[in-house]
A and B are shown apart, each in its own frame.
Chain A
Amino acid sequence: MRESVRRRFIVRFAIPLIVGMGLLVGAFHYLGLLDRYLNLEAQSLAWLLNRMGLTAYCWRNTVWLHPVIGAVTLSCSSLGSAIILLFLFLLTPTVPVGRNIAAAVLAVGLVYIGNLLRLMLVLIIGHYWGAASMLTFHDWFGPAITILYVLIAYWIWSLIVVKRRRRPYFYYRWD
């Protein structure tokens, strides 16, 4: 069993994962997609803040919301979590392709929105309570929010991927 499983793991998971990741990282790094992605996140952030009635300006990956300026960097971005979630579909090859892709895309979308909300909170705190509060919130509460939205995205992903055939919890209880 183990030989065939190892081979299948390499062919169907490890190689597609490494090649896919390599292509994505290469595309983001060499084709300038990274800057575009960061700019897109910054623009979305500014748009969201403006919709909330706050005056925010965006220039490239930087958002200005008086009196603070925030830059969306790689570590601030949702890109890492999105890539990890995107490749989750490789874990479930037995699920129909359409459902698998839809689940991955939805999870990535949720991560994008979740991160946007986190960044928005960071800037709003900076807007009302100043840069020091903003940094404290960003450094100490930011990771907790990240974990929360990644888990929610993962939860939604599993909801779509898994076929639900419920049996009562104690179905195997014997007397």
Chain B
Amino acid sequence: MTERYKSDESKVIDLKTNRESTEVREKLENTEKGKRSRITLALITVILLLTLCVISGSLVAFLRNLSILIVAFYCVYLARHLSFAWAALAVRWRPSELVTDLPAKLPRVTILVAAHNEDRVIERLVRALMNLNYPEDLREVIVVDDASTDSTPAILERLRKEHPSLRVIRRTEEERRKTPGKPAALNRGLLEATGEIVVVYDADHIPDRNAVMRLVMHFADPKVGAVMGRCKIMNRDENILTKLVYIDYLSGYLVNEYGREAFYSLPAFGGSNCAIRRSILETYGGFNERSVTEDTDITTRLILDGYRVVYDREALSIEEAPNRLTRFIRQRYRWAFGHQHVFYDYWLETLKSRHLRMVDKIELLLFLFLYHAPVVMFVGLILGFLWALGLFIPTSVPLAWLLWTLLFLGPFLEIGAGVIAEWREGEEPPNPGYLILFIPLFFISIFICTKAFIDGLVYPLIGRKYIWVKTPRREI
């Protein structure tokens, strides 16, 4: 057991050199790979649409056939939603199936926090991290102050004096301008990390005392590359939006993530309350600074490289939900933009992967394509409006009925299952009446994802780059 956690000195590479070489490699390889992957995808899409046009013969027939394709597409996602909902409600959570036991010798852990203007929340996080149920001599906490202009540096300085084990690294404004975003800040902290396991927390989180211990337990299995914990919303009762985000998280963690774990052992590695082996991160040259969803990027790379990502829903952490619609839209836009681009980058490699079985490849592709589903829904809605205006008549009324049903049934099933799963666990449930408010939220999601999709197509053409947008916090 001890051997598993012993750093293999021969394999330790200087991260700075590695990062530089990785950056060069990425420029040479990844852009080429990415370009090839994107061009192939664009070609396939154009060929498919042209084939559909030729087969259809007329515009009306084309629209009809398109509606059939959309129904087929949503049938696939409905099956996925249905299976996850079933897993959430019918399969009991048995951690014993995941965790072997506590490792004989606990590994050294580095907890990384990227903080940019987090004076409202950083203190409570640091205090929670200092209070973790994990041996003090085996954990280090590194907070990277990402050129904050508020009182974050002063708070961190005060906390550092209080807790000598806390390390604070400050990125200058110039560094931040050069490489903006959370991945770059985390990579700066990674240069100083000494732990075998790297645990990441966002500044607005408050981890459970046992969260890190639970995350680390899974690394007893050498195949495990990363572990994801469960996040819950702490400000559920603040307003209607936070209630909806709370319910959304229930479906995300109790249904979707749990379903992926139970059915395929392919859960996603999130951006916070998660742990990863440092050796793997070093091989990857740190977190991908080109991606605005570095977590999805890491998930895909880990899975494609044959590592196992584990989800432990008892490794709990609470976090803030955006309490204003504009903040929510900005956050989800970043998720959609980043997630869509991870799909463009890795879809071809997923298909070619030798580690994955066909069923796992399909699941990974469906997961990566997830933020395109609202774009398809947008096309479905346009068809619906054309139908309502009498400009297009579907092949049959049941088909139209099916289209409308499928557009909302799958997401509703998942969200509903999340509420019931939470309820079954004995939590005070949110009022399921709020489910009805998900209808406008779906429309907002359709708008966000479609905009992200169009921007993703347009930005490379006009030479514009999407830069990481941080969600503002408020103290609760």
Contacts and interface: CB of A to CB of B under 8 A. Distances in A.
Given A2-B262, A148-B436, A9 B426 contact: no
Interface in B413-462: 416-417, 419-420, 423-424, 426-428, 432-433, 435-436, 439
B408 A147 contact: yes
Task: Report, as a range, how many residues of chain A touch the other chain.
Answer: 35 or more
Given A1-B97, A5-B91, A155 B263 contact: no
A173 B318 contact: yes
A158 B316 CA distance: 26
A12 B290 CA distance: 44
Contact of B265 (A1, A80, A90, A139): A1
A169 to B, nearest CB: 5
Contacts, number: 103
A72 interface: no
Given A9-B83, A74-B398, A91-B85, A1 B236 contact: no
A75 B401 contact: yes
A5 B398 contact: no
Most buried by B among A5, A6, A139, A171: A5
Nearest to B404: A143
B436 A6 contact: no
A44 B424 CA distance: 37
B237 interface: yes
Majority SS of interface residues in chain B?
A: helix
Contacts of A14: 83
Nearest to B79: A14
Interface string B193-236: 00000000000001011000000000000000000000010101
Given A2-B264, A5-B91, A5-B263, A167 B427 contact: yes
Interface of A: 1-2, 5-6, 8-9, 12-14, 73-75, 80, 84, 90-94, 139-140, 143, 147-148, 151, 154-155, 158, 161-169, 171-174
Given A14-B83, A74-B398, A94-B92, 9 more contacts: A2-B263, A91-B89, A94-B90, A147-B436, A158-B420, A161-B420, A162-B424, A174-B128, A174-B206
The 8 closest A-B pairs by CB, nearest first: A165-B426, A169-B428, A1-B97, A75-B401, A5-B262, A162-B423, A155-B432, A75-B397
6 contacts: A2-B263, A74-B398, A162-B423, A163-B424, A169-B237, A174-B208
